Amino acid sequence: MHYGIFAATSKGAELALQVRDVLCADIAAEADVFVKKGKTDAGGVLEYERLSELVKAVFYQYDGLIFIMATGIVVRSIAKLMVSKLQDPAIVVMDENAKHVISLLSGHMGGANALTRKLALALDSDPVITTATDINDQFAPDALAAELGLKVYPKDSIKILNSAMLEGKKIRHYIDKTMPRAELICQRMWDKGVDAKIVNLESIPNDGELKTILSNRIFEPKEGVLYLRPRKLVAGMGCRRGTSIDMLYNALEMACHTIGREITELDMLASINVKSDEKGLLTLAEKLGVEIRFFDQEELLVQIEKHGLSTSNFVEANVGVGNVAEASALCCVENGQILMRKMRYGKATVALIWER
């Protein structure tokens, strides 16, 4: 996960560095700190002059944006950038004394509520969460989807089901028995306290009950039904020439475990086209039973610029572009979210992304 932390005062800058330490305690997380020009002489921070211009430039480069300043300033800065609760990044606001941590935007699907709780716990702050289902101790379907890595549609059904939950109505949860890893997802839902059933979808009665349906298939939306679909999980990989299949498999397995996923949950591998004849990568894809896609330098450069990806001079000298793992994985989906930044495991580098 990649976070942006924004501070407007000297005191806020000190807290921003604390927040960065909290977030980066997770090996799969990275955080950039932005401080108003002239407000700090601390190293490792980036300065800005106009917050609105900065936020506009980086809004979709981060999974979560944490602002240490007045809520009103934040609202005015993000108002014209918001698109949808299914696409917007998590927005969290804090005061510079860390008394309150406020989940402002994308509480469920964006993860702002979970991020708020994490920061409040670490900083001994008061978490401010106003999502109706959360304050009434209800586990909303879209919150469940966010935790399990699922996409949801149609958006209108989220409000219908969440409102029904608050009224005490029963929602049933069905999993398509033809879906890969149905048993694994079912177990995870049970672990969250959700009574889910693996069924033949054609056998579900059309009686107007409120329900969620989890399937890889795409359905015509029906009123009162929220459809869940696994997000595509892609591993971008780079490696030294001749790296063995065993080393590549072990690297990929360790990367998946870092984000709490199994290697069998991967949907696709990706790399640069100069590796299209790399035996280890090809054998790895065959062993996992997934597609592997290769991209040219120009395609990778587009993703590097779009997402502000860091580059390596060593990698660029060897393959002509400075970022392979992250950029190639992002090429595989229309709207990608980086779960784990590129990480080196011996002779292999792995990055993990999935669809927003």
* Per-residue model confidence as pLDDT tens digits over 272-291: 999 999 999 999 999 999 99
Per DSSP, helices labelled H in the chain are 10-23, 51-58, 71-78, 112-123, 132-135, 141-148, 155-166, 182-191, 245-258, 279-288, 297-307, 313-319, 325-330
Query: How far apart (Å, rounded) are the C-alpha atoms in residues 304 and 351?
Result: 14
Cα angle 35-37-43, degrees, rounded to a multiple of 5: 60
- Express each pLDDT in 71-116 by its tens digit: 999 999 999 988 877 778 889 999 999 999 999 888 776 788 889 9
| pLDDT value at 294 more than 90 | yes
Q: Where are the domains of the chain?
A: 2-130, 141-230, 233-355
Confidence of residue 133 (pLDDT cuts 50, 70, 90): low
Mean pLDDT, residues 335-356 taken together: 89
Q: Is the pLDDT of residue 11 over 60?
A: yes
What average pLDDT does range 162-186 have in this prediction?
Answer: 86
38 φψ region: left (φ > 0), alpha (ψ -120 to 50), beta (else): left
Strand partners, 101: 94, 127
- Rounded distance between C-alpha atoms, residue 195 and residue 332, angstroms: 33
Q: Is residue 257 over pLDDT 60?
A: yes
Task: Kindly indicate the confidence band of residue 203, based on its pLDDT and cuts at 50, 70 and 90.
Answer: confident
Model pLDDT, residue 271:
96
- Does pLDDT of 135 surpass 70? no
What are the backbone angles phi and psi of residue 131, rounded to the nearest 5°? -60, 130
Burial class (CB in 10 A: 0-12, 13-18, 19+), 242: exposed
* Mean pLDDT value across residues 246-273: 93
Give the mean model confidence (pLDDT) for residues 116-140.
80
pLDDT class of 249 with cuts at 50, 70, 90:
very high
pLDDT for residue 139 is more than 70 = no
2-130 topology per CATH: Rossmann fold (3.40.50)
Tokens of 249: 């498999």
> Which of 39-48, 171-180, 271-280, 302-311 has maximum average pLDDT?
271-280
More confident residue, 101 or 168: 101
Asked whether residue 337 carries a pLDDT value surpassing 60, the answer given is yes
Average model confidence (pLDDT) across the chain? 88
**Sorting pLDDT into bands at 50, 70 and 90, what band is 325?**
very high
Count Cα neighbours of 291 within 13 Å in the Cβ-side half-sphere. 8
Q: What is the DSSP string of 261-274?
A: --GGG--EEEEEGG
| Cα–Cα nearest to 341, from 332, 333, 329 | 329
Q: What letter would DSSP give residue 202?
A: G
Could you give the CA distance from residue 341 to residue 344 in angstroms, rounded to a whole number? Answer: 10
Higher-confidence residue of 70 and 166: namely 70
**Can you spell out the DSSP letters for 55-115?**
HHHHGGG-SEEEEES-HHHHHHHHTTT---TTTSPEEEEE-TT-SEEEEEE-SSSS-HHHH
pLDDT number for residue 35: 93
Its pTM stands at: 0.69
- Measured distance CA(74)–CA(54) in Å, rounded: 12
At 316, the amino acid letter reads E
Longest dimension (CA), the chain: 65
Q: What is the pLDDT of residue 235?
A: 97
Predicted pLDDT of residue 30 = 84
Task: Measure CA of the first residue to CA of the last residue in the chain; give whole Å.
Answer: 12
Q: Which of 45-49, 99-103, 208-212 has the lowest mean pLDDT?
A: 208-212
Q: How much of the chain exceeds pLDDT 70, in percent?
A: 97
Report the CATH superfamily, name and number, of domain 233-355. CobE/GbiG C-terminal domain (3.30.420.180)
Q: Give the model's pLDDT for residue 247.
A: 96
The per-residue pLDDT for range 191-202, each reduced to its tens digit, is 878 888 999 988
Beta bridge partners of 3: 31, 64
Weakest-pLDDT range from 129-133, 256-260, 329-333: 129-133
The Cα 326–Cα 235 span in angstroms is: 8
Q: Quote the pLDDT of residue 171.
A: 86
Report CA dihedral (64, 266, 148, 5) to the nearest 10 degrees.
Answer: -10
Cα 118 vs. chain centroid, distance in angstroms?
16
Identify the pLDDT of residue 284.
97
The confidence score (pLDDT) of residue 176 equals 93
Residues facing residue 230 across a β-bridge? 150
